[in-house]
Amino acid sequence: MVLLQFDITFVPLRAVKGQILADFLAAHPVPTSSPLNDDLSNEQIMDVENSKTRRWELYFDGAYSEQKDKELQTIISGKAGIGLIIITPKKGMLRYSYHLTEPCTNNETGYEALITVLQLAISMGITDINIYGDSQLIIEQVVGQYKILKKPKLEQYHRYTMKLLEQIPDVTICRIPSGENTLTDALAKLAKEFACPQEDSIKITFQGLQVL
């Protein structure tokens, strides 16, 4: 109220700042013969990378088939496969496909995929990873949000999964939409379709073909 008696004009501060910098550079020109000083006091600090950018990324997914027994009116589990993708801190990509020798349900196949990707991480000595999957049930059970009720086999899978997680110092697991996990899903379906219990392994070679 006291200032109302004065004719006050407001000037934005950022404009003043910009003009001060321009005036300073104009008043203190650097000679063209002046050597470039590249001795930066904070050079070492500026070169330190964020540890989060060096984390590994692991993706897992499972695929299974089932058929209906017309006589018993029950669902019988069929072939199953899992797909895994490991992305290195330098953005290299490793792809894995495995077919399961025994029939599994949907959730059992998902646990098999998660367990296999954890085993690979441990064998490779990976200590800090982000794990992604699209199975809400499995991930929520692993993080402790869902309980396993009257599912002895799933309880066994869950216990073994938690045991493997204890061997990795820094691990984060989270759920992603199925649309962001399509590549691992394709690898899982490929392994499922090529599942042959009578054979120990199947060698599949992938090659790229340039489109003219």
Q: Which residue has the tokens 């992938």?
A: 206
Q: Whose structure tokens read 């949000």?
A: 145
SS3 for the chain, per residue? Answer: CHHHHCCCCCCCHHHHHHHHHHHHHHHCCCCCCCCCCCCCCCHHHHCCCCHHHHCEEEEEEEEEEEEEECCCCEEEEEEEEEEEEEECCCCCEEEEEEEECCCCCHHHHHHHHHHHHHHHHHHCCCCEEEEEECCHHHHHHHCCCCCCCCCHHHHHHHHHHHHHHCCCCEEEEEECCHHHCHHHHHHHHHHHHCCCCCCCCCCCCCCCCCCC
pLDDT of residue 48: 46
pTM above 0.75, yes or no: no
Give the pLDDT of residue 148: 85
pLDDT tens per residue, range 145-168: 888 888 888 999 999 999 999 999
Which residues on neighbouring strands pair with residue 99, listed in sequence order? 81
Residue 89 confidence (pLDDT): 93
CB 99 within 8 A of CB 64: no
State pLDDT tens for residues 80-125: 899 999 999 999 999 999 988 888 888 999 999 999 999 999 999 9
Homologous superfamily (CATH) for 51-193: Ribonuclease H-like superfamily/Ribonuclease H (3.30.420.10)
